Amino acid sequence: MVKISFPENICLIPSTENLIPMSKCRDKIYLHQKLYFIDFKYCLQLFSNFDSMNIDVPIDKLLDVLYFSYIVGIYGDKNFYKILKGYMIHASGNTLYNGINQVLQYKERFCTNYFNWIISRMIEIFYELNFYYIEDISKGKIGRRFDEKATEGKKFNISSYIIEKIYENKIKENNIKLLHFLLFFKEIEEIYLIDIDFVHVKNIFCLRKIFSRNIDAVTISQKTKIGLVLLYLNNIAVFKNIKKLEIRRTILTENNMRLLANFTFLEHLILSDIIIDQRQYFFPKYLIGKLKNLKILNISAPFLDLSTDPRLFFPDIEQLYLSSIKKKNFNHFQSLKIPEAYYIIVRKISLYFFSANFREFFNKISNFKNLENISIRSKILKSVSGVNNINYQQYHLTLKRLKLVNLYLDDYEIQCIHNFRNLMSIIYIDCTFLHSDSIIFSECKHVKSLQNLKISNCDNARYIFQSIENYKNLICLTIIIKDSNKLLDSNYFIINLKNHIKLSSIHLECNKLNKFPIISEKSKIQLRKIHLCNCNLPSGSVYMSFSSSNLLSNVKSFNFCASFLSRNDLSYLSFMTNCRHLNISSCKFDNCSFFQLFMPDKSYKTVEIFIFDIILQQCDIFALMKLKFLQYIGISLNFLDSSIMYHFKRIYLKKLQLLEIRVSFVQLELKKYLQSEFGEDLQILSI
């Protein structure tokens, strides 16, 4: 028998045609073991708040239910998730293990997405672990609860809570066998150890029971006791052959550093935002010749030793990435004697100075042959001095990314920047451009490679804006102007992008504009992301800026905050049927309403919608209810008639994971209603 507990006394009598509700029955409802598929589907659709399900049926029945849920496409339904959770909670370890074995045995029945989903949910429910299958972030398969930093492979985040759970279950052979099997199937290649408490550091050894293959990469984010973590990992067989090790946000003593010598297979070492607790050398002499396989070294620290040959410690190192987050004296850097080894192996250099000069810095690093990434930051603006030209840069073919913060840049320096043949990204932040009328950006020879351009709060950027039309392969454009006085005249800000067919992302943040400053002519652009934040644009800006509404059909993310929207604007925006992220918070509607953003004859893929500080009516709420893919709604009640919130019905928002409401005060009756409808998926924030 299958027992299902419903919130109301309703009896379901299965049949091949329908389910007949009957009232005044016992709390526990009994369904026939041979539950027909049509009845099962109807059950899911009819009831939304049943608590749990107790199952005592053969395993093949579970497999049938899973297969049916895949066929009818309701496996993502929260009700189905509750049925699965009820089964998982009440099933014994051996029964669950055999059930998963059958799912694996018949995996050819299912598509990859469903197969990954069902396995991950089983682990999540039974062990209460935040464990997810991560495929490819570039394909948009990372959800809100996934690790956004994960970019490749299969990864397992391990916190103190997870260590505790594994340690508690280590003596339960069935549970360990199950977890061991599942992790082996997932082919874990990389793990994250995240702030393991001192109490649980000593229990890291229990990890040896759950991995059956060597782990290739480990990331450790540990504020304290990093030495103990490294010591325990070295005593676990599957971690002895680590090829990539990343250590973040911690203090490394000389003894901690010495422990790195135990990882003899290490090929890639990343020390990110770390502090070295020693004075003479960055690395202790003990490491000399120990890490013979190390090829790539990435260091981000307050102190960098640029006077010591890194090949003294790591003779076969091929790539070196250096970032310093502490301010340095520029004159000391100028007089520093840099070993020739740096000229060959350095790929990235990021330095922060009290006051820096662009020309002098570039002349200092002119002998570097393979630089790919340069970042210069100055705390104090230093005026351009001297007439020395910039030396020939031996890395002019390899440089791909350049970031300049708080520098003076004149015409000559800008032209030198644009002559890097393969430059793909330029970022200007708080820079001051010293232009003369004679500069002609159209003569820049090698701007075709540029894909990313960011200009943030720069002075006198008129010619930079005008030069954008030369970057034909631009993909991402970001312009942020917090001080409107730096814009001088918005007429200079009209940018012709009609030939930028690869442009996919526009981010603009600038107040006090009286016109839409990006696209003013016909274009073949296939935009994916449009973020216009705090621009205070007048109504009709969207309509006047795009020659055709079809230009918006491929937009995935649209942010248009604190501006005005007209009926024509909403008509154009209604073509964003593929938009997943929509934010129009603090917008004002000019003789139109929010619901006109969604046409009744179109299907929208909106997943997240932010509508804070917007006046909504009853018809607008009904429009929201028709967005069947919605997972998140952000709304504020201060400008609303609270009675319209009673039109929010959970039955129409089947995929919703979070309803976030911001309000200064909410009536108790309304709060109870929303809690009864959305339960744990409701979050009310006081403002």
The 3 state secondary structure assigned to 174-222 is HHHHHHHHHHHHHCCCEEEEECCCHHHHHHHHHHHHCCCCCCCEEEEEC
pLDDT for position 159: 73
Mean per-residue pLDDT for 495-501?
A: 74
- Nearest alpha carbon to residue 72 among 103, 40, 116: 40
CA-closest candidate to residue 496, choices 452, 451, 537, 545: 545
Is residue 360 pLDDT above 80, yes or no? yes
Can you point out the beta strands (E) in 626-671?
Answer: 632-636, 658-663
CB contact at 8 A, 252 and 277: yes
Task: Determine the Cα–Cα distance for residues 193 and 197; give it in Å rounded to an integer.
Answer: 11
Burial of 518 (0-12, 13-18, 19+ CB in 10 A): buried
Q: What are phi and psi of 223, to 5 degrees?
A: -70, -35
Higher pLDDT, 479 or 160: 479
Q: What is the pLDDT of residue 13?
A: 41
pLDDT in tens, 189-210: 788 888 888 778 888 887 776 7
Q: Say whether 229 sits in a helix, a strand or coil.
A: helix
What confidence score (pLDDT) does residue 401 get?
A: 96
Direct distance between the N- and C-terminal alpha carbons of the chain, in angstroms, rounded to an integer: 50
**545/24: higher pLDDT:** 545
Of the two residues 312 and 498, the one the predictor is more confident about is 312
| pLDDT of 304 strictly over 70 | yes
Query: Strands 20-23 and 10-13, how do they pair?
Result: antiparallel
pLDDT, position 144: 30
Q: What is the pLDDT of residues 60-90, one digit of tens each?
A: 566 666 765 666 565 666 666 666 666 665 5
Please indicate whether residue 285 or residue 559 has the higher confidence score (pLDDT). 559
pTM of the model: 0.75
- Residue 135: band (very low, low, confident or very high) from pLDDT cuts 50, 70, 90: very low
User: Any idea where the domains of the chain sit in the sequence?
Assistant: 2-119
Residue pair 272/246 in contact (Cβ under 8 Å)? The answer is yes
Q: Which two tokens stand for residue 252?
A: 């490394």
Identity of the residue numbered 349 = I
Among the listed ranges 178-187, 488-497, 655-664, which one has the minimum average pLDDT value? 178-187
pLDDT at 145: 31
pLDDT of 481 over the 60 cut: yes
What is the Cα–Cα distance from 431 to 192, expressed in whole angstroms?
38
Give pLDDT, residue 508. Answer: 87
Nearest to 6 by CA among 36, 27, 35: 27
Name residue, tokens 């099962």.
Answer: 40
Give the ranges where 595-680 is alpha helix by DSSP (H): 618-625, 668-678
Is 336 or 137 the better-scoring residue by pLDDT? 336
Q: How far apart are alpha carbons 432 and 437 in whole angstroms?
A: 16
Burial class (CB in 10 A: 0-12, 13-18, 19+), 83: buried
Model confidence at 218, in pLDDT bands (50, 70, 90)? Answer: very high
The answer to whether residue 16 scores a pLDDT higher than 70 is no
Mean pLDDT of 473-488: 80
281-285, 439-443, 639-643: the lowest-pLDDT one: 439-443
Give the mean pLDDT of 321-350. 92
